[in-house]
Amino acid sequence: MEQTPSESQKQPIVWLENVSIKQNGQPLLHEVNLRVEEGEFVYMIGKSGTGKTTLLRSLYADCPIESGRAQVCGIDVATIRSRRIPALRRRIGVAFQDFRLLPDRDVYSNLEFVLRATGWKRRAEISNQILTTLASVGIEDKASAFPSQLSDGEQQRVGIARALINKPSLILADEPTGNLDPITSSEIMQLLINATHRAGVATLISTHDFMTIDRFPSRVVVCENGTLNEAQP
């Protein structure tokens, strides 16, 4: 990654060159280089505290980049202005370990909130998009259920639906199977893999789940010693 991708090259969804990030004023990551193509599925592994979550946050402009060059979904996130952040986040779906669903709203309303917050207005289109997305993750019968009425696996399926609802170019998942049993973890990973392959979405997953990586092998990058490296085969 010695030069910015030209228009004649395939445009990556994530492109980082010599990126440095601080946390609480202290250097955390330096000289990070990463390229993730459309339709590519990438695992990011590393010990706790090495900067995996911070790096993911920097990709959707929730953590500032100190130096270096960074493009996500065609937007320069190293110099992004606050008014451009909503446009960036409309192109990114994010799934979390702790689900982060709105507890006082049913599943349908959780997804409706995302759509309306990103500019959807027509009720019929919103309804169709929600029901279609819920069907794609296998919980179309849970639209009227509240998060407290769902199992952990069902809640994470809603989390995946929320990440997919706007047909993103990039999915970022931070330990999406961390609170799940092995069988449910495999089901959630299969959903993410299917989304990557079916829609050509780029997917970057932070995980400690080596059993899942063994079962669903793909490219692996390692966060260690303050930077990011390709895993050795």
What pLDDT digit, counting tens, does each position of 204-222 carry? Answer: 999 988 888 999 999 999 9
Quote the mean pLDDT of the chain. Answer: 90
DSSP bridge pairs for 76: 71
> What region, left, alpha or beta, does residue 225 occupy, with left being phi > 0 and alpha being psi -120 to 50 degrees?
left
Q: Can you give the pLDDT at residue 1?
A: 40
Rounded to a whole number of angstroms, the CA Rg of the chain reads 17
Q: Can you give the pLDDT at residue 202?
A: 94
Side-chain half-sphere CA neighbours of 165 within 13 A:
33
Q: Can you give the pLDDT at residue 26?
A: 85
With respect to residue 199, please indicate whether it lies within any of the assigned structural domains: no
According to DSSP, residue 231 is labeled: P
Q: Once rounded to an integer, what is the mean pLDDT over residues 76-97?
A: 91
Q: Can you give the pLDDT at residue 78?
A: 94
Q: Domain range for residue 113? A: 102-167
Q: State how far the Cα of 90 lies from the Cα of 92, in Å rounded to an integer.
A: 6
Provide the sign of the torsion angle of the four alpha carbons 19, 23, 29, 33, taken in this order: negative
pLDDT of 6 above 70: no
Q: Once rounded to an integer, what is the mean pLDDT over residues 146-170?
A: 93
Q: Is 27 helix (H, G, I), strand (E, B) or coil?
A: strand
pLDDT of 12 above 80: yes
The model's pTM: 0.89
Contact 75, 84 (CB under 8 A): yes
With respect to residue 35, please indicate whether it lies within any of the assigned structural domains: no
Q: Once rounded to an integer, what is the mean pLDDT over residues 119-133?
A: 93
Number of domains in the chain: 1
Contact 43, 219 (CB under 8 A): yes
For 34-76, the pLDDT digits (tens) are: 999 999 999 999 998 899 999 999 999 999 999 999 999 999 9
With respect to residue 85, please indicate whether it lies within any of the assigned structural domains: no
With respect to residue 131, please indicate whether it lies within any of the assigned structural domains: yes
With respect to residue 149, please indicate whether it lies within any of the assigned structural domains: yes
With respect to residue 202, please indicate whether it lies within any of the assigned structural domains: no
pLDDT band at 2 (very low <50, low <70, confident <90, very high): very low
Q: Can you give the pLDDT at residue 197?
A: 82
Closest to 108 measured CA to CA, from 85, 82, 140, 86: 140
- What are the angstrom distances between the C-alpha of 45 and each of 17, 32, 42, 171, 206? 19, 14, 10, 16, 6
Q: State how far the Cα of 176 lies from the Cα of 15, in Å rounded to an integer.
A: 23
Contact 41, 95 (CB under 8 A): no
Contact 45, 231 (CB under 8 A): yes
Contact 30, 65 (CB under 8 A): no
Q: State how far the Cα of 80 lies from the Cα of 87, in Å rounded to an integer.
A: 11
Tokens representing 115? 């759509």
With respect to residue 73, please indicate whether it lies within any of the assigned structural domains: no
Q: Can you give the pLDDT at residue 68?
A: 96
Residues 114-122: contacts with CB within 8 Å, 24+ apart? 114/162, 114/165, 114/166, 115/165, 115/166, 118/86, 118/89, 118/90, 118/166, 119/90
Which has the minimum average pLDDT: 29-33, 156-160, 208-212?
A: 208-212
pLDDT of 143 above 60: yes
For 168-177, the pLDDT digits (tens) are: 999 999 999 8
Between residues 20 and 99, which one has the greater pLDDT? Answer: 20
pLDDT of 8 above 50: no
With respect to residue 48, please indicate whether it lies within any of the assigned structural domains: no
